[in-house]
Amino acid sequence: MAWQPNNDISTFKWEINQNIYSRFYLEIPTKEDRYYRKTDTDIQDELRKYTHYDVICFAAETWRWGQNTNPPLPRRNIEVPTSKTVEGVRAYYRVLVQEENKYILIACHANLHGFHRGDLRFVEVNDGTILSGMPKSSVIGTLFPGDVVAVTKMGRKSKAVTIPPSVFYVHPEIDCTWEVQHMTLLPRNEKNRKVNFAVLESGVAIVEGRVEAMNVIEDCESRPSSVDKINSGDVEDETLLEVDRMYTGFGFTPEKMKVNFTEDFHRKYLLPLTDVTSRLPFYPNSLGTIYTYSFSVNQSQQFEIGVRAFKPDIFLNGTREEVVEKCVMMGAAGAQTVSNGRFDGRGFSIREVRREDLILHFSIANPIDRPTEGRWNTNNRIVIDGINVSYDAIIETVVLATNRKSIQIAARLPKDCSSHIDFRAGVWIVHQRECTGQVRFDRGFFKKMHEASNGKKVIETLYGGREIDIEDYQVREDAIFTFPSVPEIVLNEYQNQYVSMILADVPLVLGNSPFGCGKSMTIVTAAIEVHKRNNLYRKNGHHRQQLLVTQTNNACVSLIEIARKVETVHVKFLRYVSESNWKTLPEPSRTAFDLPVLMRKVFIEWATKTLDGYIDQSLPVEMKNAIVRKVTQNYMSPEGLVGEAKRIYENLTDCHKVTEPSPRILRSAFFMLYQPDIIVTTADSLPSLLHCNCLKFIANVQIDEASQLPEYTLIYLLQCFPHAGFGLVGDIKQLPPHCEKELIGYLKEYGIGNTMERALTHEMFPQSALRYVYRCHPVTTNILSDLFYNGSLISGVAENDRNEFMRMRTDIWPNQEFPILVLDHEQSGYRMGTSVANVSEKLNVLKIVRILTRELNGYALRDSDIGVISFYRAQASLLTEAFRGTNVKCGTVDAFQGTEREVMIVCCTNGKPSDFMKSPHRFNVAMSRARQATIVIGNVANLINAIYWKTIVKRARKNDCLMNISKFVDEDASDCIPPKNYYEIPPDSSDDDDDSSDDDDNFPKDDEKTFNAPEVENESRGNTETQEDDTAEDDEDEQSIVNENSDPKSKSAKRRARRFRAKQRQMEQQELVDDQNENVPKGDRQVRARRGGRHRKGGSDNKTRKDGKVGNEHDYESTRRENQRLRSMVKQMAQLLDEQNKNRSEKSSNPLERQNAQVGKLLLVCCGFTVFVLFVIVCLCRDDR
């Protein structure tokens, strides 16, 4: 910046012209067109009044300010004054960094500094700063991170430069240009709020009743409490924070910045302003601050007692109910706080946009200071905002770009997103959709539960109370139940036992169900039997409903597909999923019982008077109005309305006809009209369902995959439906509840826990163990039964029912009696961000799927019959992109729990199995997804030494089902499905991936699009493991290719042999050149080095001649001798290479190879002659000089 303004007018104009934000504020909007947002605090009101004109005035005024001359003020511990409004020249800053002798503030509005005034982004507050209302005391020690102040005057620091730096060259850790001289503190809305908290290992506080962390100021002695309440009773002065202990104190919750630029703009500029601001380094809103605290003896004792609260030998100062409430509330706060910590509130403009039907490919920035990698993951729900339009979407794949500066995302757009929408035109901002369904517990929730309620009995048992004994309930042990399909299906003895317990009104029943034991059918049958019993109450005017809760959408679909087969019983099923979420689901994940589908059907029937059993007077007027608006806006033309619906539409105003009705009112109206009997939903959608107050009396709740359910969610359900019966069905040998790695100790135990495993181990509740496996091949069932279930599983199917694929494809399957094929793949994976990927493995999977789906003798697998599992998220993303457009399901182990396919391909991806790959839960899930056969791709040399994997390898070797992957895959993948890949990492140039070898450092280099990362992602989402791989040598790799492909009839073998010979010739030629270099005399090598542009050691030979020209003092005869030796060397090399090519051509029986040798000889001679001519010209030029 070469010019500096020198008067008021020029500085003002210069600031306007230089500020990148000014162009968005030139148009003065009307009141209707101005951007508007609702404010609810004094600070937000004050910030909203601030304008771009005020920004320019403040920036221009700074050119008049000199150095800071304020003397330091004494520090006193006094109450800090605040003010609601500030007038005049000012700028708003918030406290970003708190240090011992200063604060670093960041501008609240980015257009204060734009891109050109980096000096104004961060300013310093120190002992010389005067705070309004406190002129004689230092402000140090009185502010907290997140405080908002109005700065009215600043002084330049003595050593600060006068030319402002770019905003991209400043950050909080370097010295600021400006020191604040005068400022005013804006009101604090939440100050002196009492908090109870525990801490994580990082020192961050988990606060009871909150889902956002807080920071703690540990130096309590320098900050004595202004409130004496915490120093009474059960607290002690103890400043050292420790994990698994409880503290009480007072905290400050800062204001959240909603908009990062002034709000006096036309609303059409919102997205461009957001786009410009997204280019700046982002600094999130500050956490709250606990500024004084003390150790709580009583609460720490309750925390330590925990799940032993109701044991008779436990001594308590308080009540047992208080212990339960303390642990549950802290556990829920810890689980949700840590989970919310991964939410990224930033917005990014989308780049490199490409659309394929409902899949949108784009990239967003990955800043170094706060990367998006790891925060933007698969299944994240996002919102893509355009001008006056917004679309919900869900992320399907995330791939880190090669340069690590961006992440490439593929997201599924909603079903109603028009194909004419061009996401490449204009500015589109993407941001994550914040989760609103938080589970909250109120103090006293446990005490308020009825003593005889099922919910209270279950919670007491979980916290050390008396076990619930089956002998206390009347269970029909000889009952036989059937699933009401056509024909009916009779349940086995273990399934009957579970259904009998559910019907006996046992407070909670455990259904221990290993893989493929028919648990979904058992759950639906139990629900139908409960529905039959509930019909007796319905005759008396009571409608009892049931909840079936799953962990994934796939599990929901499985339950609904089974429900669709019900024929002989009239029961209304409903799958609860919000309309916004439903629109982003892929087609296979939608069903006929989904809420949006049934809502359309029911509302149209109501509006056309074709709905059966509807009592017109039961529906409020606001619901009728909402239905009419929804029907006419989305479902049908107003001309089709009948009766009251038509009259309501005619009375609607034009504004109401186009305004969308409330989703909450629509849901309530639908539930009143449809009156579902059994509601199926996921645990993630459960809070939304409960908050809409649509449920009546819930008689029974069954939870599928209950081994993955966090304990706080179960207790929340017990609190909401204390009189319902509960059934927990799952497998403790499969995946446990998801837990973030930061959550440890009591917070993890009370929040996440492992409820089902604890309940089964300590026999807290009646349990039924399902044992018959109907999914897998009997051999697979027996292997996994011996590994994980003590041999207790029984195969419920015959081998002939699960070996059709192996019988029909004897061309590729070596042993039709053994359903597991292990393919040895030696190439290691490479790091992609914090995860691992393997391009060679991906290409081989493409080839394998092509082979599996090939028709032979009238038999062929469909692509929907095949599933591909990877233990790494990055590889799962690559595979998903590779199979985009097909029905091959790809995903991680977590995504496949509860899912099955006829044939599964299990990808180990990494050369050496990491610890989480050796997890028994993950291994069990991965190997139990196939109905017929499983193909394992991995490095056998390492798998044979890994627990569980070695059993599979040994059994496969014994049954002749172990081979090198090159023997199984013998054709190119160029025409494999699908025809194109978007985020492709280019493979090696050779046709066969096994021809390439690993690098010395176990990972491919940068030219293969790899990069280093300190850790490898753990797909359990809780741990990280160090990546380790074995190194493969080139000669071993090549020799294995020759040995494995010696069959002269194989075209693939011939190709590999030709490539091997070509590579060998290349190596021989390089060795010959190296030998020649070693035979060249030292002096000639030096001459050749000088000819390449290097200078002679020991000083320069170039000196100024008398005529003023630069010349060389070497005598010309010496130069000619050097040139002659060089020509001789070139000639000698040409002769040796010619002799080698001649010998090779004589040995070759292929005319084409002889022709190539001759051409090579001719080219070499031409090159030698060209070099000779050039040297002659150089010598002549020197002679002329």
What is the three-class DSSP state of 803?
coil
Interatomic CA distance for residues 402 and 411, integer angstroms: 20
Structure-token pair, residue 1147: 């040995």
Structure-token pair, residue 451: 């003593």
Using alpha carbons, list the distances in angstroms from residue 638 to 657, 659, 665. 10, 15, 21
Average pLDDT on 636-658 reads 90
Structure-token pair, residue 508: 């909670």
Q: What is the pLDDT of residue 1139?
A: 60
Q: What is the pLDDT of residue 219?
A: 52
Q: How many helices (H) and strands (E) does the chain have?
A: 35, 42
Least confident residue range of 172-181, 684-693, 700-709: 684-693
Q: What is the pLDDT of residue 1126?
A: 53
Interatomic CA distance for residues 896 and 867, integer angstroms: 9
Give the tens place of pLDDT for each residue, 517-571: 999 999 999 999 999 988 876 655 568 899 999 998 889 999 999 999 998 888 9
Structure-token pair, residue 914: 């990491």
Interatomic CA distance for residues 912 and 1025, integer angstroms: 12
For residue 1173, pLDDT over 80 is answered with no
Sequence-distant (≥ 6) Cβ neighbours of residue 832 within 8 angstroms = 399, 400, 874, 1010, 1011
Using alpha carbons, list the distances in angstroms from residue 1112 to 111, 1100, 1101, 1116, 1174. 62, 10, 6, 9, 19
Interatomic CA distance for residues 675 and 693, integer angstroms: 13
Give percent of the chain with pLDDT exceeding 70.
78
Whose CA is closest to 973, among 840, 809, 827? 840
What value, to the nearest 5°, has the Cα angle with vertex 877 and ends 872 and 882?
125
* Positive or negative torsion for Cα 560, 564, 568, 569: positive
Whose CA is closest to 145, among 106, 173, 176? 106
Structure-token pair, residue 630: 């929804």
Give the pairing type, strands 235-236 and 214-216.
unpaired
The beta strand positions in 17-75, using DSSP E, are: none
Least confident residue range of 105-109, 236-240, 1025-1029, 1081-1085: 1025-1029
Give the tens place of pLDDT for each residue, 815-868: 999 999 999 999 988 888 778 999 999 999 999 999 999 998 889 999 999 999
The residue to which tokens 């309309």 are assigned? 579
The interaxial angle of helices 663-674 and 621-630, nearest 10 deg, is 100
Q: What is the pLDDT of residue 37?
A: 86
* Positive or negative torsion for Cα 561, 562, 563, 566: positive
Cβ-contact 325, 316 below 8 angstroms: no
Interatomic CA distance for residues 1141 and 593, integer angstroms: 75
Q: What is the pLDDT of residue 1059?
A: 57
Using alpha carbons, list the distances in angstroms from residue 680 to 188, 545, 663, 714, 730. 45, 11, 19, 16, 16
Whose CA is closest to 944, among 954, 936, 935, 934? 954
Give percent of the chain with pLDDT exceeding 90.
56
The beta strand positions in 331-451, using DSSP E, are: 347-349, 351-356, 359-365, 381-386, 389-400, 406-412, 429-432
Kindly give the residue spans of alpha helices, DSSP state H, lying in 659-803. Answer: 663-674, 686-691, 711-720, 745-751, 755-761, 778-788
What value, to the nearest 5°, has the Cα angle with vertex 532 and ends 526 and 535?
140
Instruction: Rank 317-321, 377-381, 614-618 by mean pLDDT and report only the highest.
Output: 377-381
Structure-token pair, residue 357: 């039907």
Residue type (1 letter), 746: Y
Q: What is the pLDDT of residue 991?
A: 34
Of residues 1154 and 678, the one with the higher pLDDT is 678
Q: Which H or E run contains 42?
A: helix 42-49
What are residue 1120's phi and psi, to 5 degrees? Answer: -65, -40
Interatomic CA distance for residues 522 and 508, integer angstroms: 16
Q: What is the pLDDT of residue 1089?
A: 38
Using alpha carbons, list the distances in angstroms from residue 51 to 22, 110, 285, 858. 11, 12, 22, 74
Whose CA is closest to 822, among 955, 671, 687? 955
Whose CA is closest to 494, among 760, 771, 767? 771
Least confident residue range of 380-394, 925-939, 1068-1082: 1068-1082
Mean pLDDT of the chain: 82
Interatomic CA distance for residues 1153 and 53, integer angstroms: 78
Using alpha carbons, list the distances in angstroms from residue 637 to 607, 631, 653, 657, 920. 11, 8, 17, 12, 57
Interatomic CA distance for residues 854 and 976, integer angstroms: 11
Q: What is the pLDDT of residue 248?
A: 94
The residue to which tokens 């095949």 are assigned? 866
For residue 1057, pLDDT over 60 is answered with no
What are residue 315's phi and psi, to 5 degrees? Answer: -95, 130
Beta bridge partners of 107: 93
Sequence-distant (≥ 6) Cβ neighbours of residue 1156 within 8 angstroms = none
What is the three-class DSSP state of 166?
coil
Give the tens place of pLDDT for each residue, 974-1030: 444 443 333 333 333 333 333 333 333 333 333 333 333 333 344 433 333 333 333
Start-to-end CA distance of the chain, whole Å, equals 49
Using alpha carbons, list the distances in angstroms from residue 185 to 43, 77, 79, 146, 150. 10, 16, 12, 11, 6
Interatomic CA distance for residues 595 and 7, integer angstroms: 66
Whose CA is closest to 113, among 44, 181, 166? 166
Cβ-contact 548, 680 below 8 angstroms: yes
User: How many residues are present in the chain?
Assistant: 1185
For residue 206, pLDDT over 90 is answered with yes
Give the tens place of pLDDT for each residue, 650-682: 999 888 888 889 989 999 999 999 999 999 999
Sequence-distant (≥ 6) Cβ neighbours of residue 497 within 8 angstroms = 477, 768
The residue to which tokens 């840590």 are assigned? 338
Q: What is the pLDDT of residue 1140?
A: 56
Is the peptide bond prior to 978 cis by the omega test (within 30 degrees of 0)?
yes
Local confidence band at 363 (pLDDT 50, 70, 90 cut-offs):
very high
Q: What is the pLDDT of residue 402?
A: 84
Q: What is the pLDDT of residue 1002?
A: 33
Local confidence band at 1162 (pLDDT 50, 70, 90 cut-offs):
low
The interaxial angle of helices 519-538 and 493-503, nearest 10 deg, is 30
What structural domains and CATH numbers belong to the chain?
12-185 (no CATH), 347-432 (2.40.30.170), 454-568+677-770 (3.40.50.300), 778-970 (3.40.50.300)
Give the tens place of pLDDT for each residue, 253-306: 898 888 999 999 999 999 899 889 988 888 888 888 998 899 999 999 999 999
Average pLDDT on 249-253 reads 90
Interatomic CA distance for residues 61 and 46, integer angstroms: 21
Cβ-contact 52, 25 below 8 angstroms: yes
Interatomic CA distance for residues 755 and 737, integer angstroms: 9
Q: What is the pLDDT of residue 1032?
A: 34
Average pLDDT on 226-244 reads 59
CA 1039 and chain centroid, separation: 42
The interaxial angle of helices 778-788 and 920-927, nearest 10 deg, is 170
Give the tens place of pLDDT for each residue, 769-791: 999 999 999 999 999 999 999 99
Q: What is the pLDDT of residue 897?
A: 87
Cβ-contact 287, 235 below 8 angstroms: no
